[in-house]
Amino acid sequence: MKKIKLTRPELKRRREMLRRYERYLPMLKLKQQRLQVMLRDATKRRLEAEQRKEEIESARRQYQSVMADWAGVPLELWAKPSDVFLDEQNVAGVSVPVLRDVAFPEARYSLFGTPPWVDQALADLREQTRRQVLVEILGQQEQLLRRELTRIVQRVNLFEKVMIPDAREVIRRIRIKLGDEMTDAVGRSKIAKKKLSETLDTYPGIASMFATNGQGESNGEGLPGGAPP
């Protein structure tokens, strides 16, 4: 651990550091609260998206068995995304992906040579894919927000439990040291005055000599030849 200088300049520097820490901590706590709210919202939206995905999967199962009879129509291939378009959004200071659209390959098949349920099956498969992509994107949002929240919580704990208490402890130690030095100085001054007083009491001639010298200087008698200034 670095040795601390128990001096007045160091005391001033430590007090300034403590003021900065105490100004910064409320901002960190505010960001922590915002992240907690946004994380709860992201989790809620992901769970809702997962529920909607399960709903479309349940609807698709009603014609799952007949799809095998039409193996020549690659519905699942046409339902795979050809591209996923994303935007970025700033959420509580965190850049997160936002789903804009999902593109699919062109489906080419005869409307007259296929049963009517093929159109609906393809639409449901593509909707299932969209909802799956949305679940994944919302999961990424949730992960990014949770990671940032963890980092902010660590910093809040660092300031609350380490940096601010340490700064206050250093300030306390410096003040005690400076107070002790002041007490010692006052004590030495009293001792010096006491010794001087005892000396004057023991040798009264010294006191009269000091008085005479002081009076002579004030009258100009201390000048050479006794001449006035």
Number of H helices, E strands in the chain: 6, 2
CA distances from 91 to 43, 94, 101, 140 (A): 14, 5, 20, 13
State pLDDT tens for residues 130-189.
999 999 999 999 999 999 999 999 999 999 999 999 999 999 988 888 877 777 666 667
pLDDT of the residue at 207: 52
Most confident of 15-29, 58-72, 189-203: 15-29
State pLDDT tens for residues 192-221.
676 666 666 666 665 555 555 555 444 444
pLDDT of the residue at 164: 94
Q: So what CATH class is 22-173? A: mainly alpha
Q: Where are the domains of the chain?
A: 22-173
pLDDT of the residue at 5: 83
